[in-house]
Amino acid sequence: MSEDQAAQKDELLALASIYDEEEFHGAESAQGGEIQLCLELPPNFKLIVKGDKHTEYDVSFLPPLVLNFELPANYPSSSSPLYTLSSKWLSRDQVRQTHHCKKSNYIFQQHSPCLPDKPFFSTPQMTSLCKRLDELWGENQGCVVLYTWIQFLKEEAFAFLDVKSPLEVVKAGKAAVKRAGTIIGEEGKLESLLELDPRAVLLVDPRTDILPQLLDFDEAQRQKVFDGKVFCCSICFMEKLGSSCLCFKECQHVYCKACMTEYFGIQIRDGNVQCLNCPEPKCTSLAMPSQVKLLVGEELFTRYDRLLLQSSLDLMADVVYCPRQSCCQAVMVEQDTTMGICPACQYAFCTLCKRGYHGLSHCKVTADELRGLRDEYISASAEGKKFMEQRFGKRVIQRAVEESFSRDWLYENCKGCPRCGTNIQKVDGCNKMTCTSCKQYFCWLCLGQLTLVNPYSHFNNPSSPCYNQLFQGVDINEDDALSDEED
């Protein structure tokens, strides 16, 4: 084995031992491979989208720079590695699109398992990185250089390119395509773009909206970091890996999945789907439906989804439910109308009283509803009273008010006969009462039924609760007392 081959083998083995399979994997049929380099972003790094609205997004991770390389037979003694450097986000608004053209050597074409063979986009920033890699090879010629390249790209690329927050992302559309400046093969244009290094590749078409891809990658990397950390659950006080925990997005409070599964299950079974909030006292963060779906079973999530939809519909003024117990379908109601037609069973009903639609006739009121109508009417505003009069009719309202006042007076001044329930008012006299309807004797104090033979024995018996209370609560004046003594 030659010295170059030995050096190449040792270098690839070293890279495989330093980086995991996601960061580095070697080619099977050639001396080469691919390295993915996630750059370290400074704190509070933001993406900015300029368009109709000026929007900023906080990100902690950007898609990696990808270094594809192949090692020539005479590397490292004489030749540099062949490589392409690709990215999805560098200098997107300075992109220049190129196409295969027989008349130009501008396109970098390598028929190799390590290097991509496809049309690409090149950028000035990526070109400057390639020039810096060439300089590092010149400084270290004769020695292996891949690790030096990797360290530079990973640790110094941001500073070298002077990339600062916020990083502007161009929204996909005609403007982005126009900025790309498509080349169709005119020799003058090709010559003017020869300064762009063909080894520098931008992997995304400018007509593609890159923002969702950047945000999805950031979210996936955040989750990966979270899964590897250890957290203490504030419910069971056990330490668990993030992969076994749930983090509320808004407040960032963390609990183990076992505790939250039980908590969500209890709330959903009780119908409290609007209360799947963070268990931290006074915290109002809510769990996302996607988080709930990951923890509870399919049956519980179906119930949660249905109740959540129903609670949302309940808040909509133009949505009512079909009053038929066998249907209960949500029904959209047009404005300024009291008629609803169920789309499922075709039942036409009044949206106010939930009975069959009765046109312009007043809503019918049951005896039980009539009792509560007076209080609702008295406490209503002038507009509310007018609406109730139109809905039920003035006669019904007046009757409800009168009956309600009568009921209140009877409640305050009368007691019901313990035998037949007739309302009896006590005007004067002792506590032995006689029902005017069924003639039953009874005690006014305890409403106990008294015997017909000797009704007063109830007040003379020491074991009776009303012993010696025949005249309890009765006002006796002096004249009455004298007349009683004479008697």
Read off the CATH number of the domain in which 40 is found. Answer: 3.10.110.10
Regarding whether 135 and 202 lie in a shared domain, the answer is yes
Q: How crowded is residue 229: how many other Cβ atoms within 10 Å of its Cβ?
A: 11
Q: Are 396 and 436 in a shared domain? A: no
* Tens digit of each residue's pLDDT (9 = 90 or more) over 308-355: 877 766 666 677 888 888 888 888 887 777 788 898 898 888 877 778
User: Of the listed 414, 430, 438, 466, which one is catalytic?
Assistant: 430
User: Do residue 401 and residue 429 come from a single domain?
Assistant: no
- Is 88 found in the same domain as 26? yes
In terms of domains, do 293 and 378 share one? Answer: no
Give the range among 52-66, 284-298, 375-389, 415-429 with minimum mean pLDDT: 375-389
Judge whether 22 lies within some domain: yes
- Nearest Cα to Cα of residue 118 among 58, 68, 78: 68
- Domain holding 431, by residue range, is 425-481
pTM: 0.51
Say whether both 435 and 410 belong to one domain.
Answer: no
Same domain, 411 and 434: no
Percent of the chain whose predicted confidence (pLDDT) is above 90: 17
Residue pair 61/38 in contact (Cβ under 8 Å)? The answer is: yes
Summarised one tens digit per residue, pLDDT across range 89-110 is 775 433 333 333 333 333 333 3
Question: Is the pLDDT confidence value at 17 over 60?
Answer: yes
pLDDT at 314: 63
Q: How many domains does one find in the chain?
A: 4
Rounded to 5 degrees, what are φ and ψ at 159?
A: -70, -40
Same domain, 408 and 429: no
Res 172: pLDDT: 55
Quick check: is 342 in a domain? no
What are the pLDDT digits (tens) for 253-264?
Answer: 999 999 999 999
Q: Are residues 179 and 294 in the same domain?
A: no
In this structure, what token pair is assigned to residue 289?
């439906």
Q: Does the annotation count 342 as an active-site position?
A: no
The amino acid present at 241, given as its one-letter code, is L
Q: How far is CA 254 from CA 65, 234, 257, 439, in A?
A: 32, 8, 9, 74
Question: Does one domain contain both 24 and 160?
Answer: yes
- Whether residues 202 and 79 share a domain: the answer is yes
Pairing of strands 32-37, 24-26: antiparallel
In a domain, 355, yes or no: no
